[in-house]
């Protein structure tokens, strides 16, 4: 097998397995969800100027319902995953920790989980 063939053959094998593959798929899904949410969020906040303070406060009252607080925490989780996995990607770009990228990933995910725990603790009384 020539060198070129081996490189080409290795592309799929290297990318589509294990931790790296799932990290990439979740990164992409969370990114698309957050991009979509960005525009929803901008529309909601713009109601303050477009429809007035009363209308905006009415929408905020709906967000206080347990279901929306829970969905909000899911968004925080998506932000934390995307942000902390993004840190890993920038570290890899800088050439830091490439040989231990799986360890770096799980350390960063632990940090993400701890920060999420803070948000959940604060939000908890507002769900129940």
Name the site residues for other proteins (rule: CB under 8 A): 7-8, 11, 14-15, 28, 31-32, 34-35, 38-39, 42, 45-46, 48-50, 53, 56-57, 60, 63-64, 72, 76, 79, 83, 86-87, 90, 93, 118-119, 122-123, 126
What is the rounded distance in angstroms from the CA atom of residue 9 to the CA atom of residue 5?
6
If the CB atoms of residues 31 and 97 are measured against other proteins, the closer one turns out to be: 31
For other proteins, give the closer residue by CB, 10 or 100.
Answer: 10
Coil, strand or helix: which one is 11? helix
Q: Which is nearer to other proteins, 1 or 11 (CB)?
A: 11
CB nearer other proteins, residue 19 or residue 46 = 46
Q: How far is the CB of 100 from other proteins (least distance, A)?
A: 19
Cβ count near 9 (within 10 Å): 11
Exposed / middle / buried, residue 61 (Cβ in 10 Å: 0-12, 13-18, 19+): exposed
The answer to whether the beta carbons of residues 104 and 91 sit under 8 Å apart is: yes
């Amino acid at each position: 097998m020539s060198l070129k063939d081996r490189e080409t053959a290795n592309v799929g094998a290297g990318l589509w397995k294990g931790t790296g593959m799932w990290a990439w798929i979740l990164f992409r899904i969370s990114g698309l969800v957050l991009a979509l949410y960005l525009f929803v969020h901008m529309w909601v906040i713009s109601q303050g100027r477009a429809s007035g303070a009363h209308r905006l406060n009415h929408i905020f009252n709906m967000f206080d319902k347990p279901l929306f607080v829970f969905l909000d925490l899911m968004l925080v989780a998506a932000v934390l995953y995307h942000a902390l996995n993004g840190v890993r990607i920038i570290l890899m770009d800088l050439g830091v920790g490439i040989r231990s990228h799986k360890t770096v990933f799980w350390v960063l995910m632990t940090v993400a989980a701890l920060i999420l725990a803070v948000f959940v603790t604060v939000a908890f009384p507002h769900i129940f």
